[in-house]
C-alpha cells in the first residue's frame, strides 16, 4: 500500500465512524438496575429523561431531595429521572449497589429508577457516558463530566436537549423551565 493512500483511507475511516455514530441516541444504550437487572433505556421512549451521575458522599448529595421532588411533580406527565451512581470523583460513591440503594431510600426516600454503579470518566467509562460526553456526536452538550450530579435532559426520541452542571440544582428555574418545555408536546 502506498504511503499516499494511507491519509485518504484514514479520512474515509473517520467519516465512516462519525456517520455510524451519528444515528445513535440515548435509547440505544442499556445499563443495569441497582438490583443488577438489564435496563434498556429504550424502555423510556416517549418520555422525557433526566440522567444524573450521583454519589452518596458529595457536597451535592442533598440534591437527591430536589431530584425526588421534581420526579414526583412531573412523573405523571411522562418525566423520569435515572440516577447513575459513579465513584469517579473523590471516591464519593464507594459503596456497593445494595448500600447505595439503602442509603438513597432511607436518607432521601428516592423512588426514581437507580442504576448500578458505573464509571462516567476515564478509560473504563461506560458506553452511555462515552456517547453523552462525545463532543463530535453532541457538540452542544458533550465534554468530560467534571463532577457528581451533572444532569442531562433527554427528549422523548432519545435526543439530548441540554446539560446542567452540578451547581445547577434540579429545582432551579432553568431546569424546571427546560423540563416543562420538553414535556409540553407530550399528551398525558
Q: pLDDT, tens digit, for every residue of 141-161?
A: 999 999 999 999 999 999 999
Domain that holds residue 57: 25-183
For the chain, the domain total comes to 1
* Residue of 138, 174, 185 lying closest to 18 (CA atoms): 138
- The CA-CA-CA angle for residues 33, 71, 44, to 5°, reads 50
The CATH code of the domain that includes 49 is 3.40.30.10
Domain for residue 188, yes or no? no
Domain for residue 16, yes or no? no
* Cell numbers at 21, concatenated: 455514530
Domain for residue 6, yes or no? no
User: 38-65, pLDDT tens digit by residue?
Assistant: 999 999 999 999 999 999 999 999 999 9
Domain for residue 7, yes or no? no
Is the entire prediction scored with pTM above 0.85? yes
Backbone angles phi and psi of 159, in degrees to 5: -85, 145
pLDDT for 23 equals 72
Q: Does the annotation mark 104 as catalytic?
A: no
Pairing of strands 48-54, 79-85: parallel
Concatenated DSSP letters of 20-73: HHHT--GGG-EEEBTTS-EEEGGGGTTSEEEEEEE-TTSTTTTHHHHHHHHHHH
Domain for residue 14, yes or no? no
Domain for residue 5, yes or no? no
Domain for residue 55, yes or no? yes
Active-site position among 21, 58, 171, 183: 58
Amino acid at each position: 500500500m502506498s504511503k499516499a493512500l494511507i491519509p485518504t483511507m484514514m479520512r474515509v475511516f473517520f467519516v465512516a465512524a462519525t456517520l455510524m455514530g451519528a444515528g445513535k441516541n440515548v435509547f440505544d444504550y442499556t445499563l443495569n438496575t441497582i438490583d443488577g437487572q438489564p435496563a434498556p433505556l429504550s424502555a423510556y421512549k416517549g418520555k422525557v429523561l433526566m440522567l444524573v451521575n450521583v454519589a452518596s458522599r458529595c457536597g451535592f448529595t442533598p440534591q437527591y431531595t430536589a431530584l425526588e421532588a421534581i420526579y414526583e411533580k412531573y412523573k405523571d406527565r411522562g418525566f423520569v429521572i435515572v440516577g447513575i451512581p459513579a465513584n469517579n470523583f473523590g471516591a464519593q460513591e464507594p459503596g456497593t449497589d445494595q448500600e447505595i440503594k439503602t442509603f438513597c431510600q432511607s436518607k432521601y426516600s428516592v423512588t426514581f429508577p437507580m442504576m448500578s454503579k458505573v464509571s462516567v470518566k476515564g478509560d473504563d467509562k461506560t458506553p452511555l457516558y462515552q456517547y453523552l460526553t462525545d463532543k463530535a456526536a453532541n457538540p452542544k452538550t458533550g465534554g468530560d463530566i467534571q463532577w457528581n450530579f451533572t444532569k442531562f435532559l433527554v427528549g422523548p426520541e432519545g435526543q439530548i436537549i441540554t446539560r446542567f452542571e452540578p451547581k445547577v440544582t434540579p429545582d432551579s428555574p432553568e431546569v424546571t423551565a427546560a423540563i416543562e418545555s420538553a414535556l409540553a408536546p407530550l399528551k398525558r
